[in-house]
Structure 1
Amino acid sequence: MSSARLASLLRIPQRTITSLTKDNSKRSQRFLNYDVVIPTEVSPTLRVPDHIVKPDYAQSGIVLESLEEVEIKTPDAIKRLRDSCRVAREVLDKIGDNIEAGISTDELDKLAHSFCIERNAYPSPLNYKWFPKSICTSINNVACHGIPDDRKLKEGDIISVDVSVFLNGYHGDCAETFAVGALDEKGWNLVETARYCLESGIAVCRNGAKLSDIGDAIQHRAEESNCSVVPNFCGHGIGTYFHGPPTIIHFEHDSDEVMKTGMTFTIEPVISEGEDEIAVLEDGWTAVTLDKSRTAQFEHTVLITDDGAEILTRSPREA
């Protein structure tokens, strides 16, 4: 793959969609068992108490992160990162417990915000490049970076919740897709495929392995289930910075960059049941599929070890 092609795939399209109500029956007729989501009213941004330690961008929205090389974590850094990842997972599990038909994503955001404050953690998305909320909630055809609003969840929805926290100077990051009540067979296939894609990407991680092995494994697993990888969203290095090197690409590509013991990064593929094209709405964040197909996303923060990867955001509920 050429560098120009890779760059074009990784760049979020500049095209915006001003209306999702226009009929697009040829593209959407395959996807009829769920609502096509249109963003609604967003409530005012919540305040974080003064005693909570905040990242640099918390007040200004301006991100000053400038890490140029992949960081190998020290034992102390790994301990701090484990703590932040543990809290991020606790918050995500708490949100999952409250997902049901009739609750709005704004209410979920308020719960997540409160859970973070209770644990003396700052919700990392809040005011990051002026994102207005504490979590991302992406429903059905919203591929990523959905802004919590007053739309109430409905039976048959699928919702991806992305939780990140800043604690003791380090960010932890994880995501999961949840079904709201009963879900059609194709929807379950999508959700389970997305889960297995993440697991497949993690399974190839170890000291000395190529970073590109992750994307190869994820794309192969997605295609086995007749799904596609949305190429615009990547995993990333994480630590005292929210996003940094290395960039984790979730589709097949050529790269000689290798994993090293002590590296930490996220793996977070967005998987579509339809085509892989997206566009970003006028709010500058909400990414939706052009064919209105559903997507699902799972994410973990991982630490590379000599013989594999330690999942720092694994839920204690997982076997």
Structure 2
Amino acid sequence: MIILKTPEQIEKMSKAGKILASLHREIAKMIKPGITTQEIDGFVEKYLEERGASPEQKGYQGYPFAICASVNDEICHGFPRDEKLKNGDIVTIDMVVNLDGWLADSAWSYGVGDISEENQRLLDVTKKALYLGIEEAKVGNRLGDIGYAIQSFVEAQGYSVVKDFVGHGIGKDMHEDPQVLHYGTKGRGPRLMEGMVITIEPMVNTGDYRMKIVENGWTAKTVDKSVSAQYEHTLAITKDGPIVLTEQNEGIDTQKEE
């Protein structure tokens, strides 16, 4: 069942989103060769506690950390660890913030130090795919319009879209209906309605789209060891268009690519 949110509830989620966006801005300053994702995890816990918020994914189905930190060929749900990030790595930091019972979810991929042109292109394509999906998040459109916009663009660039993980509705629960596929057919799927709040979070691989789960039971990796990136926003569907609740650049038109 899709739960529509009132403007007042969306405003509460927006407050969680602002904290999450500010966290990503701080993390962007921290990302450099030599830092560990375990250090970032500890920073996030403290940052949220100081603001009266909490990391929703910690404890979710037994997940033990405040963030997911996925490096290079890890697609998602990477465990923070004490291994130092190296020059040229790509790391995706994914977080869900709980503020007064309302949630916001956002993932961002970062290049560590000087990254290759190929890896920079992957980041650029994945981020643009996110914003192309957001542009389709309009009242009256269908979920398939979002997936088609993302998949058609990504595949035209020679990359693949991960199909095993999807975006989702969000509110007081981390995963609500509907599922938001990052592939699909125009004009198919549930119709988008005012008051829906969803995440769009394409995961894009330089190689094969398929994945495997490693021994910890959580982390997904590419089957061919190709590099993966992900960008994710939480957004509300309104009569005036999508409002991105986790936008990091305050004051910009969130319906356009950064």
Give me the TM-score of the superposition, normalised by structure 2.
Answer: 0.95
Aligned-partner Cα distance in 2 for 1:219–1:247: 16
Q: How does 1:43-54 map to 2 (within 5 A)?
A: none
Equivalence for 1:285: 218
3-state SS of paired residue (1:90): helix
Equivalence for 2:207: 274
- Output the amino acid matched with 2:223: L
Equivalence for 2:53: 121
Is 1:183 the equivalent of 2:115? yes
3-state SS of paired residue (1:310): strand
Is 1:297 the equivalent of 2:230? yes
- Output the amino acid matched with 2:7: P
Q: How does 1:129-208 map to 2 (within 5 A)?
A: 129-208=61-140
Structure with higher Rg: it is 1
Aligned-partner Cα distance in 1 for 2:90–2:74: 10
Does the 8 Å CA contact 2:24/2:248 hold for their aligned counterparts?
A: no
Alignment length, in residue pairs?
251
- Output the amino acid matched with 2:153: R
State percent identity of aligned pairs: 37
Equivalence for 2:256: none
The gaps in structure 1 that reach 5 residues or longer are 1-68
Equivalence for 1:264: 197
Aligned-partner Cα distance in 1 for 2:251–2:180: 24
Aligned-partner Cα distance in 2 for 1:173–1:240: 12
Equivalence for 2:38: 106
Aligned-partner Cα distance in 2 for 1:190–1:300: 18
Is 1:224 the equivalent of 2:156? yes
Aligned-partner Cα distance in 1 for 2:241–2:249: 19
Quick one: structure 1 residues 83 and 181, their matched pair in 2 at CA, closer, same or farther if it must change by over 3 Å?
same
Structure 1 residue runs of 4+, over 4 Å off?
A: none
For residue 318 of structure 1, report the CA deviation from its aligned partner.
Answer: 7.3
Aligned-partner Cα distance in 2 for 1:139–1:176: 12
3-state SS of paired residue (2:192): coil
Does the 8 Å CA contact 1:100/1:153 hold for their aligned counterparts?
A: yes
Quick one: structure 1 residues 157 and 317, their matched pair in 2 at CA, closer, same or farther if it must change by over 3 Å?
farther
Aligned-partner Cα distance in 1 for 2:232–2:163: 15
Query: Could you list the per-position Cα deviations for residues 135-180 of structure 1 after superposition, in whole angstroms to 9, with x for gaps in the alignment?
Result: 0101100000001011110000001111211001101111110000
Aligned-partner Cα distance in 2 for 1:129–1:231: 22
Equivalence for 2:8: 76
Equivalence for 1:86: 18
Larger displacement relative to structure 2 (89-98 or 156-165) = 89-98
> Which has the larger share of strand?
2
For residue 92 of structure 1, report the CA deviation from its aligned partner.
Answer: 1.8
Aligned-partner Cα distance in 2 for 1:318–1:144: 30
Give me the TM-score of the superposition, normalised by structure 1.
Answer: 0.77
For residue 266 of structure 1, report the CA deviation from its aligned partner.
Answer: 0.3
Does the 8 Å CA contact 1:91/1:163 hold for their aligned counterparts?
A: no
Quick one: structure 1 residues 294 and 318, their matched pair in 2 at CA, closer, same or farther if it must change by over 3 Å?
farther
3-state SS of paired residue (1:163): strand
